[in-house]
């Protein structure tokens, strides 16, 4: 206790004992006649230390788990993916044996990542994209705590570069596959709802969850407004009059009763050759690919998909009929006999 009564019969029984620069720094002890004087001295001493940065930062003895808890309380809980991020951070913390945060170094992080990479080819293999996500949220946590003046030390993740990941081929459905998918789901339980959700994704580029969670209140004349999106920004996409009349009920509540798992399983069952991890996004990829193949504008596609960065949308640029056609016109073999 910083201020306590020694009860030793001394005229100044109240002892103030404090460490202005942390437990490992200089200790100050002084006695006072009253508790108020002792508390005032303690406040004065600690404030003086705060005003003198050349004395060094106070030692921060918080563990990594305590920092994660603080981050979630002050910032993470306000994020759409905050709970998921906290869980990933807690897994990292557990794997690192919950060190004192001030002692965590970039070397520790690098060796931790190297250890996870060594499990490649085993049941414990962790994808590079997951590793990059973990590093990204850990770096972001320290940056946010620094911004909030909750962290005075360097960011131990700042110098860690993301792992390079080879671009995957984005699979999309051709028109025959689309027809086969729609025919197969129509025969299943909840077939009408599942088919309409798939059609919304194929007509608007919506994510599956965005389509499943649609409410009647999000429909306006021949338009759908997607809310609670991944990018936290609403976007409105036109639809045909005939399809609008098909899904419009006049009610404001939820339009569809099917679940994400139901649609995901239907897609995997109907399209057996999809690469791992692409069943969730194949409808969005299909919309985007056909949009560009049919001569759509890449900037318009960016707005429809709700991408904040055009780099994300450029993934589909090569599907444009005129993409890099100059390579044919201006290569050295053109017009040669």
Catalytic pick among 116, 188, 285, 307:
307
* Residues 198 and 311 grouped into a single domain: yes
Domain assignment present for residue 325? The answer is: no
In a domain, 162, yes or no: no
Check 75, 207, 266, 290 and give the catalytic one: 207
Which residue among 35, 100, 281, 285 is the active-site one?
A: 281
In a domain, 229, yes or no: yes
- Domain housing 82: 64-147
Mark whether 284 is an active-site residue: yes
pLDDT the model gives residue 330: 76
> Mean pLDDT, 10 residues at a time, over the chain (337 residues)?
84 88 76 91 79 62 94 93 94 92 90 75 71 94 95 92 83 92 86 94 95 95 92 92 93 92 89 80 93 93 93 89 80 77
In a domain, 282, yes or no: yes
* pLDDT for residue 270: 86
Same domain, 86 and 113: yes
Q: What is the pLDDT of residue 283?
A: 94
Catalytic site residue from 35, 230, 268, 285: 230
Looking at the fold, whether 43 and 81 belong to one and the same domain comes out as: no
**What string of H, E and C letters represents the secondary structure of the chain?**
CCEEECCCCCCCCEEEEECCCCCCCCCEEEEECCHHHHHHHHHHHHHHHHCCHHHCCCCCCCEHHHHHHHHHHHCHHHCCCHHHHHHHHHHHHHHCCCCEHHHCCHHHHHHHHHHHHCCCCCCCCCCHHHHHHHHHHHHHHHHHHHHCCCCCCCCCCCCCCCCCCCCCCCCCCCHHHHHHHHHHHHCCCCHHHHHHHHHHHHHHCCCHHHHHCCEHHHEECCEEEECCCCCCCCEEEECCHHHHHHHCCCCCCECCCCCHHHHHHHHHHHCCCCCCCCCCCHHHHHHHHHHHHCCCCHHHHHHHHCCCCHHHHHHHHHHCCCCCCHHHHCCCCCCCC
Q: Check whether residue 24 and residue 49 sit in a common domain.
A: yes
- Judge if 184 and 314 occupy the same domain: yes
Please confirm, yes or no, whether 62 is among the known catalytic residues: no
Q: Are residues 227 and 113 in the same domain?
A: no
Residues 256 and 222 in one domain: yes
Residues 79 and 15 in one domain: no
Compute the C-alpha angle 180/244/191, nearest 5°.
Answer: 35
- Count of the separate structural domains present in the chain: 3
Q: Is residue 230 domain-shared with residue 285, that is, in the same domain?
A: yes
Give residue 125's pLDDT.
65
Q: Are residues 126 and 109 in the same domain?
A: yes
What CATH number is associated with residue 308? 1.10.443.10
141 and 185 fall within a common domain: no
Any domain includes 191 = yes
Note whether residue 126 is domain-resident. yes
d(CA 125, CA 35): 60
Specify whether 200 is located in the same domain as 237. Answer: yes
Does the annotation count 75 as an active-site position?
no
* Token pair in block for residue 238: 């036109």
Report if residue 324 sits inside a domain: no
| pLDDT attached to residue 23 | 65
Residue 118 lies inside a defined structural domain of this protein: yes
Q: Which domain-ending residue is among 100, 129, 147?
A: 147
281 is catalytic: yes
- Is residue 307 annotated as part of the catalytic site, yes or no? yes
């Amino acid at each position: 206790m910083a201020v306590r009564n020694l009860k030793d019969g001394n005229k100044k029984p109240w002892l103030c004992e404090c460490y202005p620069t942390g437990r490992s720094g200089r200790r100050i002890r002084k006695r006072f006649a009253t508790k108020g004087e002792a508390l005032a001295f303690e406040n004065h001493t600690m404030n003086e230390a705060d005003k003198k940065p050349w004395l060094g930062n106070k030692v921060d003895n918080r563990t990594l788990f305590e920092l994660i808890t603080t981050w979630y309380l002050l910032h993470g809980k306000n994020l759409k993916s905050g709970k998921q991020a906290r869980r990933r951070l807690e897994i990292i913390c557990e794997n690192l044996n919950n060190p004192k945060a001030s002692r965590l170094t970039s070397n520790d992080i690098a060796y931790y990542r190297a250890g996870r990479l060594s499990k490649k080819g085993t049941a414990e293999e962790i994808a590079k994209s997951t590793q990059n996500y973990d590093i990204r949220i850990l770096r972001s946590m320290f940056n946010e705590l620094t911004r909030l003046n909750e962290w005075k030390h360097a960011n131990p993740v700042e110098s860690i570069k993301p792992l390079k990941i080879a671009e995957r081929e984005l699979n999309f459905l051709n028109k025959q596959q689309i027809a086969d998918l729609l025919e197969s789901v129509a025969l299943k339980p909840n077939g009408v709802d599942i088919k309409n959700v798939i059609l919304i994704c194929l007509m608007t580029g919506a994510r599956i969850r965005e389509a499943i969670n649609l409410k009647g209140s999000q429909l306006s004349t021949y338009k759908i407004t997607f809310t609670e999106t991944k990018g936290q920004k609403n976007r409105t996409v036109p639809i045909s009059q005939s399809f609008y009349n098909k899904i419009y009920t006049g009610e404001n509540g939820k339009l569809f009763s099917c679940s994400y798992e139901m649609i995901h399983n239907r897609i995997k069952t109907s399209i057996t050759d999809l690469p791992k991890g692409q069943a969730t996004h194949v409808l969005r990829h299909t919309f985007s690919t056909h949009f560009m193949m049919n001569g759509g504008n890449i900037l318009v596609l960016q707005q429809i998909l709700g991408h904040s960065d055009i780099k994300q949308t450029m993934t589909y640029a090569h599907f444009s009929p005129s993409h890099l056609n100059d390579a044919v016109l201006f290569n050295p073999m053109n017009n040669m006999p």
